[in-house]
């Protein structure tokens, strides 16, 4: 079946060049956000709780004076990890989807939904981590 084209030479419903360029910039920003979220989750998993004195002492012995600990409860830490890991996964997926959109795929609405989900989960992670 042949595609119909409009007077501008594009098929109806196709995104403009400007939107595709913005999607490319967005893909880079989302990839950076994904990397930051992965590093935050790894930091949460690796650091002991400050209330766990044996864990902090072991970290000081292993890392020297640069050891750090998580100053919060274990429930807060677990909730931050539970929200942060899917947020990182969704941010990476959104980066790939944005790249696909920039290359011509028609996934604009789904892309916005995935970006919104990633932002909500990342916001919940940082909100829980600050309590």
What is the rounded CA–CA span in Å between residue 109 and residue 103? 16
Tell me, what's the pLDDT at 38? 96
**Residue 30 pLDDT class (50, 70, 90 cuts):** very high
Which residues are paired to 70 by β-bridges? 49
DSSP 15-64: PPHHHHHHHHHHHHHHHHHHHHHHHHHHHHHHSPBTT-HHHHHHHHHHHG
pLDDT the model gives residue 67: 66
User: Which residue in this structure is represented by tokens 């940082």?
Assistant: 126
Residue 63 confidence class, pLDDT cut points 50, 70, 90? low
Q: Is the pLDDT of residue 17 over 80?
A: yes
123 contacts: CB under 8 Å, gap ≥ 6:
none
Q: Angle 74-102/17-46 helices, nearest 10 degrees?
A: 160
What are the backbone angles phi and psi of residue 118, rounded to the nearest 5°? Answer: -65, -40
Cα torsion through 92, 94, 96, 97, rounded to 10: 160
The separation between the first and the last C-alpha atoms of the chain, rounded to the nearest angstrom, is 57
Q: Is the pLDDT of residue 108 over 90?
A: no
Higher pLDDT, 48 or 103: 103
Contact call for residues 87 and 122 (beta carbons, < 8 A): yes
């Amino acid at each position: 079946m042949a595609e119909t084209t409009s007077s501008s030479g594009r098929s109806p419903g196709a995104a403009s060049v400007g939107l595709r360029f913005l999607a490319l910039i967005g893909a880079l920003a989302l990839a950076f956000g994904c990397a930051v979220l992965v590093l935050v989750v790894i930091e949460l998993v690796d650091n002991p709780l400050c209330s766990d004195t044996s864990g902090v002492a072991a970290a000081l012995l292993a890392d020297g004076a640069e050891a750090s600990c998580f100053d919060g409860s274990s429930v807060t830490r677990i909730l931050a990890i539970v929200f942060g890991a899917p947020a990182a996964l969704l941010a990476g997926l959104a980066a790939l989807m944005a790249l696909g959109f920039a290359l011509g795929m028609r996934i604009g609405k789904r892309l916005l939904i995935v970006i919104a989900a990633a932002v909500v989960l990342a916001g919940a992670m940082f909100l829980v981590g600050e309590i």
